[in-house]
Structure 1
């Protein structure tokens, strides 16, 4: 009997966790119709298809390398990867082991599918990146955060008039704000970032994300504008797109 493995993936920004169950169910139905024996199911949750470093995908490739598979079944070719080079590598790797790829959308995948779909996925990703960048720029120009969060601020979670979550709003965390002021005062008085970090840890004051304070979190990087002392947000200036602009 033909041994089949199912692969399913969803991206955190595009789909929901139930999507994995839906993909597996549909692929299982296809396998039953073809009378293939599904021996294993591999999944990657909330991981972008632009990265090949996914636990589920790597386990699938390792299983194929051991000669334990005949067919890989997935919903569509872009579930395996959206990167043109990666999908070609995956196809070549599986093909070398004699493993076919069958998708619900394309059927049995050939080199033609890999070339055309890979190109289409690259165009999609480029367009998605442009739209995301445009959306973030609009958010920043409206006075909100373009992403991430700085120590001393909390993310505001509320719904807008349209019922959708409002993104990019921040509010001051009073307790953390006082620590920020202390860091600037101590540094102005001559204390080094290392000394400041040691003092905060000695008083059991949680650092960013609840971790211990490190001198790097305090001094950061001047060019990149990171760290407490180099983040211009603390003087009322919001900087966005710094690294892309340079």
Structure 2
């Protein structure tokens, strides 16, 4: 028998007209989805009154961190917009979960894991992001008025302050002295690490209840709230909030931070390997992971290496230059996928997928079964009443059942409305929008790969790229490539297929 799938549930609601009841509804649907699919739920993570536009959510971050323990294999959300409404964040965090063997499942959209469902998932995330922008425009006016009055707009808590019942900031007498100590320690010459060590040794916690690190300390040292300036996206309001630090100390700290910033950098920039989790060795089928090295001249090189070769010395696959393979995959994806005829075929399959998923909805089946059970119970009570069996308990139970029936019918109506079918024209429009992407933008390149590329297999003499749609021409094989470096133009056995990014790409043939 296959090993049982363990999962956790992530639920979230924003502050816009949503309440604890929203969480209860999400959990109910997620548990129903898990039961219908024989999934064991081992834990729940809940963020309250926090927007999905930001990844700065305590429970969400804890869930991502816990995924590294490999105790669960899936995260169940009510809808994909509960996970995040930012498409770029979604791609980043799903990649992190995937590395830990965890996938994201939607209870309501019920995506089935087929190649097309990955594209559909990206489409739904894009729509959620659009909805988020549209919603924010509707509430901007009210938020601006609150900001001008100095009222808290929600979001991240600030160490040293508390928010009163009228939504105004007040100095927290318990934590404000900690803020003063932090500024004085830094101005006296203590390093960020030394200050973090001092605070953590004392058992002092951040506003979120965690240990101090360089990021949380930097946030405090640069926060103008501490000198009474309430900074929002609508502008800065001097005196809009009670000051904890005097301006002279704040400016002294800012000057020292600027001086330290100009000192030689201690940390190196993190390199994003776009093909992580999608690039595989053609010889042993193991994953190829991002690596870096430095030559004798001090030049830094970035490449992908076979995991089996790296860890077990059991494969002789040569390393592949990072920029070269990523540029090649990007170019081929644009060439092979973003064509009108292919886009139309994908759109047709996505429409079919939506119809199939709507017909197989586990949530709808659960609600319909619940309604049927309630109706049977009501019928039985009515039969008893007709036979003269009338007690106070009978009346109470009948009232309860009528309420339950009404609530389930409402949920069924909501489910029917929610399972909207995205039209073929909308899908074509959305996929076609990728044609206008900037191929030099890392964000666009990552979105392109995450949405359309299923897997890339690198052999000694060819590359096989498989795409996220089933049917003809969903695989491209690029043969006879010199994979250790970009092919040289003077090779008589190769012919150019087009201009690459900084070099010409050459192949002998393309098999589809």
Are 2:91 and 1:130 equivalent residues in the alignment?
no
| Residues 217 and 227 in structure 1, CA contact (< 8 A), matched pair in contact too | no
- Look at both structures and tell me which one has the larger radius of gyration over its CA atoms: 2
CA distance in 1, matches of 2:169, 2:56: 27
For 2:120 and 2:20, the matched residues in 1 are separated by 27
Measured in 2, the distance between the counterparts of 1:82 and 1:217 equals 28
Q: For residue 133 of structure 1, report the CA deviation from its aligned partner.
A: 2.7
TM-score, with length taken from structure 2: 0.29
Are the counterparts in 2 of residues 218 and 227 from structure 1 also a CA contact under 8 Å? no
Asked if 1:64 corresponds to 2:67, the answer is yes
Q: 2:236 aligns with which of 221, 224, 240?
A: 224
SS in 1 for 2:54: coil
Q: CA deviation at 1:129?
A: 2.5
- Secondary structure of 2:239 counterpart: coil
What TM-score results when the alignment is normalised by the length of structure 1? Answer: 0.57
Contact 2:9/2:27, CA 8 A, preserved across alignment: yes
> What pairs up with 1:1-246 in 2 under 5 angstroms?
1-108=4-111, 110-134=117-141, 145-147=145-147, 149-150=149-150, 209=170, 211=172, 220=228, 224-227=236-239
Once the two structures are TM-superposed, the CA of residue 147 in structure 1 deviates from its matched residue by 3.7
Give the Cα–Cα distance (whole angstroms) in 1 for the partners of residues 97 and 134 of structure 2.
29
- The Cα of 1:57 is off from its aligned counterpart by 1.1
Aligned residues: 167
Structure 2 unpaired stretches of 5+: 152-165, 178-223, 230-234, 241-512
Distance in 2 between residues matched to 1:218 and 1:63, nearest whole Å: 33
The separation in 1 between residues aligned to 2:92 and 2:148, in whole angstroms, is: 33
Q: Return 5+ residue gaps in structure 1 as ranges.
A: 138-144, 152-169, 171-206, 229-246
CA gap of 1:224–1:6, structure 2 versus 1, over 3 A, is: closer
**DSSP-derived class of the 2:108 partner:** coil
Q: 1:208/1:16 Cα in 2 relative to 1: closer, same or farther (>3 Å)?
A: closer
1:224 is paired with a residue whose SS is strand
Query: Residue in 1 aligned with 2:308?
Result: none
In 1, are the aligned partners of 2:7 and 2:75 still within 8 Å (CA)?
yes
Quote the Cα distance in structure 2 between the aligned partners of 1:8 and 1:87.
15
Contact 1:6 1:41 in 2 (8 A): yes
- Give the whole-Å Cα distance in 2 for the aligned partners of 1:100 and 1:211: 41
CA RMSD across the alignment: 3.4
How far 1:217 moved relative to its partner? 8.0
